[in-house]
Chain A
Amino acid sequence: MIEIDDLRFSIAGRRIFDGLNLRIASGTVTAIMGPSGTGKTTLLRMITGQLRPGSGSVRVDGREVPALDRAGLYDLRRHIGMLFQNSALLTDDTVFDNVAFPLREHTRLPERLIRTVVLTKLHAVGLRGAARLMPSELSGGMARRVALARAMALDPDLLLYDEPFAGLDPISLGMILRLIKVNNDVLGVTSVVVSHDVEQISRIADYCYVVSGGRVIGEGTPEQLRHSDSALIQQFMSGAADGPVPFHYPASPYRDELLGGRS
């Protein structure tokens, strides 16, 4: 479904990707993990064509994304749903209108049919009762479920989840996990989940990539990764505070700085 080859990209002189390669198979749940700031969100924006790589190839469904023109991109995006970390619901519209939004924009369905579809999607995320609420009246977990219903509205082939677990209470988290799994199992949607929550993502992912320093440093099923002999992956999977990724940001020796003033 997604093939990324030798991806290179930098913003303002900072290198984000330095020869990244990965493959995402159709119908799987693939996790992309890595420490904060490794450009996981950037990677998603390249898959949707919102950012163009410096060099390298991003193919989605056989189409070379950076080479697509506007019409091509928009056509591609109709088959992609994306769940944003902060939900990104339209704050002026009700929950119902938010879910109906892509349907009204992209289809000529009569309002009666749109209502049916929206209620079905909201029911699937368990929020049919909240249809008349405004986004400001929702909790973080509910907002994310509404956003998921919206991302699913057009029955996409590919769903991208950007940090779907961040900032959720355990119950909401469990709901989101279940929804990702159900979407994948029942609807056959290819799912890409960007997260640094190793423990949660391991429960549903078929395959994982660990990204650090602009490239893939490890890949495999969650089980394989857990038994990896790479120290870096071990540190990441077990969440150790210190290791190959040091606890301290690079600095001059502590003693010198404290005693030596600013000389």
Chain B
Amino acid sequence: MGRLAQIGRRLAQAIRKLGSVVLFLLTMLQAMPYALRRPRLVTVQIHNAGVLSLVIIMTSGFFVGMVVGLQGYDAFSRLRQEDLLGAAAALSLIKELGPVVTALLFAGRAGTALTAEIGLMKATDQLSAMEVMAIDPMGRIVAPRFLGGLIAVPFLTAIFNSVGILGAYFVGVQLMGVDNGAFWSQMQEYVDSGDIREGIIKSLAFGGAASLVAVFEGYTADRTAEGVGLATTRTVVVTSVLVLILDYMITSFLL
């Protein structure tokens, strides 16, 4: 009985949390016009979310691409179909690996930074001070950061994919000796703009989800050092799980 009650309480808690996320999103959307009238604020956040994640995204992309090239070469050489390596690498990167890995890296690099930043601003009364100055922190602080992430992630994904394909090219063509022409022509044969569109849709959804989680956790963090730390951890955990769930859902809708 006690166990059942506990499960019920947990469930109620989860539903309340979901509701508070939705309310948070609505409040943020209300504050959106403020941010849109100040594109400068958004630009700075694109810099923070995008430029500062660039090194990790490009490094990871190149190595993921190299692994795909290596594994793909190993699998296709067993079937005597090495020429398909380019197509397989491009498809797996564009449709799956690119959006998912980029979103996970983004959560770790930029998402945690967003949560910690907003959480600390809250803990040091900076958000409160803005309210007293009749400036809505939702519009001034939260919305630009959300937009910055939302815009940066699809671009980061495209960069990840491109670097990844170069990584696969490097391993497949340069190291393993797959025919250069076949690598690119098979890729062009099998990848069509629908695949790229699928990747872009995913990266937009993941970027939105990751940014929303990051700013929400920061904004609702407890006003203590421990609270901000916990919120940062939750950002990574929640984003990771959410991205993987969303990935399955979007894939099943689009296939």
Contact = CB atoms under 8 A, between A and B. Distances in A.
Contact of B132 (A77, A101, A106): A77
B125 A88 contact: yes
Contact of A84 (B121, B129, B135): B129
B133 A84 contact: no
A50 B132 contact: yes
A88 B131 contact: no
A78 interface: yes
B126 A91 contact: yes
Instruction: Give the interface size bracket for A toward B.
Output: 20 to 34
B126 A90 contact: yes
Interface residues of B, number: 14
A106 B34 CA distance: 12
Contact of A106 (B121, B131, B134, B140): B134
Interface in B128-142: 128-129, 131-136, 140
- Which of B121, B124, B133, B135 has most A Cβ within 10 Å? B133
A176 interface: no
Given A86-B124, A88-B124, A50 B131 contact: yes
A49 B95 CA distance: 49
The majority secondary structure among interface residues of chain A is mixed
A102 B133 CA distance: 7
A88 B128 contact: yes
A75 interface: yes
A101 B125 CA distance: 16
Nearest to B123: A86
Contacts of A90: 121, 126
8 contacts: A77-B132, A77-B133, A78-B134, A84-B129, A88-B128, A88-B129, A101-B133, A105-B134
Interface of A: 45, 48, 50, 73-75, 77-78, 80-82, 84-86, 88-91, 101-102, 105-106, 147, 150
Give me the 10 closest cross-chain CB pairs, A-B, nearest first: A88-B129, A88-B125, A77-B134, A74-B134, A82-B132, A84-B125, A102-B133, A78-B134, A88-B126, A105-B135
Interface of B: 120-121, 124-126, 128-129, 131-136, 140
